[in-house]
Amino acid sequence: LSPAEQIETAVIALQVGCVGQGIYHSEPQRFAFENITAVISPKDDEQAIQAALDRGEILADAINLTRELVNHPAQDIYPASFAARAEELAGQYGLKCEVFDEKRLEMEKMGSFLAVARGSSQPPRMVILEHHGGAKGAPTLYLCGKGVTFDSGGLSLKPSAGMLDMKMDMAGAATVLGAMTAIARLKLPVNVVALMGLTENMVSGSSYKLGDVLTARNGTTIEVHNTDAEGRLVLADVLS
């Protein structure tokens, strides 16, 4: 690695390594560094080193954002609260943001996505973020993230041990959101659109059922054999 790459890697490690999962611990188990000093050779390019420091900080912030969202329980991170956080970050970093609420999802005929959301008291959302740093007419990269903020398995109910970590079933959407903040802050010369499908998969009298035939946004019909295969139903409509 070049000196700049070594600095960037060290900054990421230091910032990420001092942040743990103890969001609710009364006594913190890890502590942020007050100061970090980079010692460089007179032969090193100071501008390149500073750029590496800045890039490392931005990438570490994006990683820590994703980890924070994943580590919060479903009582805190649910479709509407995730969407609100995405809107806040979009405003902070200059990303274009649009949020589809339940009515808009119905207008878009996103039937497979909405079926997954049917059993929850938390209404679904879809977040669209856009970064236009590339030339007009240049190719656009699309990122699509699964954001099931809690997955009980639906009527195909998971056992308790399998359900314990299902607050993390939105890690795909959290990763996409973290990536978009880094892309915007680094001012990358690319065009990127990110889509995050946000819902819970819960059990109630309105839950979608085994044997139901759903109609996705593109007109494809889907027969449900297992309600714990919800991720593909969400992503099918989000991709469409």
Instruction: Assess whether pLDDT exceeds 90 at residue 20.
Output: no
The reported pTM is: 0.95
Q: Report, as residue numbers or ranges, the catalytic residues.
A: 158, 232
Give the sheet arrangement for strand 191-201, strand by strand. 96-100, 125-132, 191-201, 140-151
Q: How far apart are CA 111 and CA 117, in angstroms?
A: 10
CA-nearest of 123, 200, 220 to 154 is 200
Q: Which residues contact 101 (CB under 8 A, 6 or more apart)?
A: 123, 125
- Structure confidence by residue, pLDDT tens digits, 48-91: 999 999 999 999 999 999 999 999 999 999 999 999 999 999 99
Alpha helices in the chain (DSSP H): 3-17, 46-71, 79-93, 102-107, 111-117, 160-163, 171-185, 230-239
Determine what percent of the chain is predicted with pLDDT higher than 90.
85
* pLDDT for 31 beyond 90: no
Q: For residue 201, which of 145, 148, 123, 144 has the smallest C-alpha distance? A: 148
pLDDT at 235 over 90: yes
- Looking at the chain, the whole-number percentage of residues with pLDDT higher than 70 is 100
- Per-residue three-class SS string for 92-115: HHCCEEEEECHHHHHHCCCHHHHH
Rounded mean pLDDT, 198-223? 98
Q: Over 90: is that where the pLDDT of 240 sits?
A: yes
